Amino acid sequence: MSRVAGVYETVVYAVDVVAAARFYSDVLELSPLEEPTELSAAFRLDDRGVFLIFDPVRASAVGRRVPAHGATGAGHVAFAVEEGGLEAWAGELRRRGIDIEREITWEEGGRSLYVRDPAGNSVELVEGEAWPVSLRDATD
């Protein structure tokens, strides 16, 4: 059995997909894979992962090519930024008038800041590690 290598698609939900997509493209500078629609928006990350936004109502309709899904309420996603880059991000977000909800320095050495996307999802930017590398590491 081949092991699962990593996450390929990460999803958050937004009733107004286009407004949420604008946040991820304009503020976080993610690279769109297609023009956002009322159903979905798709972005390709530099590590080749795909980040998706779906309208939970349209995505949960039956009869789509893919199985139905769709969640409501605030989701959460964390994006990795390069070491030393978080401070510049904090300045840029403040310059744009975006409220930084929290900043955390982790026991593992990493640092995070948290903002909200227009749909209310909790969006974290992290530099370094917020988690132990492995379970062994965690229990040492």
120 sits in the region (left: phi over 0; alpha: psi -120 to 50; else beta) called left
Considering the complex, what minimum distance in angstroms separates the CB of residue 92 from a copy of itself?
Answer: 6
Considering the complex, what minimum distance in angstroms separates the CB of residue 11 from a copy of itself?
Answer: 5
Considering the complex, what minimum distance in angstroms separates the CB of residue 66 from a copy of itself?
Answer: 7
DSSP string, 18-36: HHHHHIIIIIS--EESS--
Considering the complex, what minimum distance in angstroms separates the CB of residue 133 from a copy of itself?
Answer: 7
Considering the complex, what minimum distance in angstroms separates the CB of residue 82 from a copy of itself?
Answer: 4
Closest Cα to residue 11, out of 61, 60, 46, 65? 60
* Contacts with 29 (C-beta within 8 Å, 6 or more apart), sequence order: none
Task: Name which of 19 and 106 has its Cβ closer to a copy of itself.
Answer: 106
Task: Name which of 109 and 131 has its Cβ closer to a copy of itself.
Answer: 131
Torsional sign, CA 52, 55, 56, 59: negative
Task: Evaluate whether 17 touches 55 at the Cβ level (below 8 Å).
Answer: yes
Torsional sign, CA 4, 58, 18, 74: negative
